[in-house]
Structure 1
Amino acid sequence: MDELEFRRRVYTDPNDKHPDFLSASTDHAANRQFLNEMKDFNHKLEQAMNVPVPKGFPDTLMLRHLLGEPKYREGPGWRYLAIAASVAFVLGFATRFIHLPAEASPGLPSIAQVALQHVQTEMPFTRYVDEQVTLIAANAKLAPYGARLSDMSRVGKIYYANHCMFPGGTVAHLVIAGEYERINIFLVPMDQPLKMESQFAGQGLQGEVVPMQNYRLVIVTDMQENLKQVTDTVKTSLEHII
């Protein structure tokens, strides 16, 4: 079982007992570490969701009902609360796949933090994988985001092309060759609930966020790379198709 298939099965069921899954989890240290991280995350999530009901709370609700508390409140406040609850649900589901750092600020997660954490988490896999991605295969991943590569001569070799999960939904993820290390490219739809930043750095990486027509182009590179040059190259290589 290759590492990509192993990670997909971990996302689906970290407690999988199939022999080939157990073998992959014990034979490779990186797989074992990733599995332990996912199990620990699920345990913390279960603890967070298992919040006891405060004593007397059901009686309070019943009393309000008997006193004629209206079932529905008018005014914008309740609509905002409903919207916030919907966003919270989406973000909560998305963190099943992306681990946000503990120091993430309250409110919307930062696109920089999400991108950096995603690259770091996937690096044991994306640093070595080579799917020998063709132009057709890469454009098949980019098409849902309204983009395509005109050719591969500018961006060079593409090692990996897939869809990844960010808070709010999926994004396109390409990994291409850089001068020093591999470069991660994300196409993040405009409507995803993320706090925007233009440039960022951390964890030995640097990045830039560029608003495009239908998405935000996010570039993450090693600190040695010429970030501006890489960003300009990728921008001029992408075409708008919708």
Structure 2
Amino acid sequence: MMILEQLRKDNPLIICITNDVVKNFTANGLLALGASPAMATEKLEMDEFLTHAGALLINIGSIEEGDIENMLAAAKYANQHDVPIVLDPVACGASKFRKDFCLKLLETYDITVIRGNASELQALTGEASMKGTDADTSLSTEDVARAAYKKFNCAIVVTGEIDAICVNGKINLIENGTALLTKVTGGGCLLGAVVASFIYNETKPTLESLTEALTTYTVASEFAERASNGTLPGHFAVNLIDQLYLIQESDVAENRLVKEV
């Protein structure tokens, strides 16, 4: 069963605690897709917001010490209201502060999906060094996904040249996408929000629902590259918002490149 059409009908509220660099891009991307974004962060209102939310995104891209209480409170209330949580552990291999926070969050609360690049996920499962948000392209996303699932026992999405999704030990590999997603600030961060949108109200998402989330986004990115001046990063970013608005379930079904392993 495809989710995109139902998502657009339901217009789920997605709470995005995300980094300062990408808030506008993320909100516009979700609006184009058909979700309803709220960039709420204050712990004092989080209980009320999450009463009505379909999903929560926690993205640590510009995390500061003062953000920790807000993020932990959000996770607590999300668990209380059975709201799925997507964690984007941005650059968690670049500093002990980031990694320690992510591990604390994962140990304390039920996280539904962890979405990151291979270096970020490897840092959470063991040792990996990063220069900012850069990913080690020599890593196998499939192997990293398996290791992360084994450690955290939740759905895992690892992005790279080939994306890997692991749910209940089963893996799908996705070969759609474009390198231009790495030339735009927030390409990966918006994907985390898109994943949250596709699993709204589902704390036990299926491999199929996560595969649809990724293929919808990556096929839209391919369409954005082919659109007017799409090989230029600035135009590509605008085109991506447009293509998330235009894309249909049939487009995804006809263009997705998915391999079960």
TM-score, normalisation: structure 2:
0.24
Comparing both structures, which one devotes a greater share of its residues to helix?
2
Higher RCO structure, 1 or 2 (CA under 8 Å, sep 6+): 2
The structure with the largest strand share of the pair is 1
Q: TM-score, normalised by structure 1?
A: 0.25
